[in-house]
Amino acid sequence: MAARTAFAALLFAFLATAPAAAQIAHQEGIQIGLSQDDISITAGFSGADLTIFGSLEDADPQTARQGRYDVVVVLEGPARPVVVRRKDRVLGVWINLESETFTNVPVSYSVASTRPLQDITQPESYRRLSLGSGNIFMQPAEAGQPPVTIAEFTRALRERKAAAGLYSENPGGVQFLSQSLFRATVRLAPDVPVGTHKARAFLFKNGVFLKESSAQLEIRKSGFEQTVFRLAQHHGLFYGFLSVSLAMATGWLGRIVFRKD
């Protein structure tokens, strides 16, 4: 009788832990691919939508059916130094009095997500992952500045980027096409910077971060703009001489056309 009771207890314990073991067996992952690896823009470029495709690996079908997977996709532009200036009114004239320089600031930052970010996970998770324009770490060039001053200039920098369309969010911009395939749409601003951009995808399950995947995108100028850009970058002296000569020729031509006899 005792042996039968012990066997029944062991069987009950096994059946109770079996669902948990089956759930743990899923080792979810995420992969992404760009619709195009490089984009050429001209002077008339007015912005565009970039499509990023991705898939979940070893996804739990029940979790997928219940919509408990979330994906956040970020397209981050190249990092460059940025100077933020504050204007104050002195004797009726607005002039720049204070400024702050930040190093390695992403020039552009576009986010797409399955839902609004506040509905996916806690703010602490975003800060830990440096995910979202509000969580980008902006390093001041000079140490020792008062924290209040740094916070003020940092907030102004983010607001200026958002107003220019360079920092943007697209809740609902990630859509699942099936239980494991998804499509993300991120916005390229009209004055998107040239250079290497990095696409990153973050996978969450029940609000818990699981995995990350990344890919690169190259944005370059084309046509006459690309020629001028290369001259400015690699042949500065010739570019300066050409600019001065063009300005002089334009002025001389304007004088001839609009002169009064």
Task: Tokens 């300005």: give the residue.
Answer: 247
43 and 89, same domain (yes or no): yes
165 and 248, same domain (yes or no): no
213 and 234, same domain (yes or no): no
What's the number of domains the chain is made of?
2
> Does residue 12 form part of some domain?
no
Q: What is the pLDDT of residues 208-240, one digit of tens each?
A: 999 999 999 998 877 555 555 555 555 566 657
> Does residue 3 form part of some domain?
no
Q: Which domain holds residue 261?
A: 223-261
What is the length of the chain?
261
Q: What is the pLDDT of residues 10-48, one digit of tens each?
A: 445 555 555 544 445 678 999 998 877 788 887 778 888
Angstrom distance (rounded) from CA 63 to CA 27: 13
Mean pLDDT of the 91-117 span: 86
% of the chain at pLDDT higher than 90: 45
Strands (E), the chain: 29-34, 38-41, 48-57, 69-76, 79-90, 93-106, 109-113, 139-140, 167-171, 174-176, 181-188, 195-205, 208-221
For the chain, the distance separating the N- and C-terminal CA atoms, rounded to the nearest angstrom, is 124
Q: H helices of 51-122, where?
A: 61-65
Angstrom distance (rounded) from CA 44 to CA 163: 20
> Does residue 146 form part of some domain?
yes
Higher pLDDT among residues 118 and 21, named by residue: 118
232 and 150, same domain (yes or no): no
Higher pLDDT among residues 124 and 138, named by residue: 124
> Does residue 66 form part of some domain?
yes
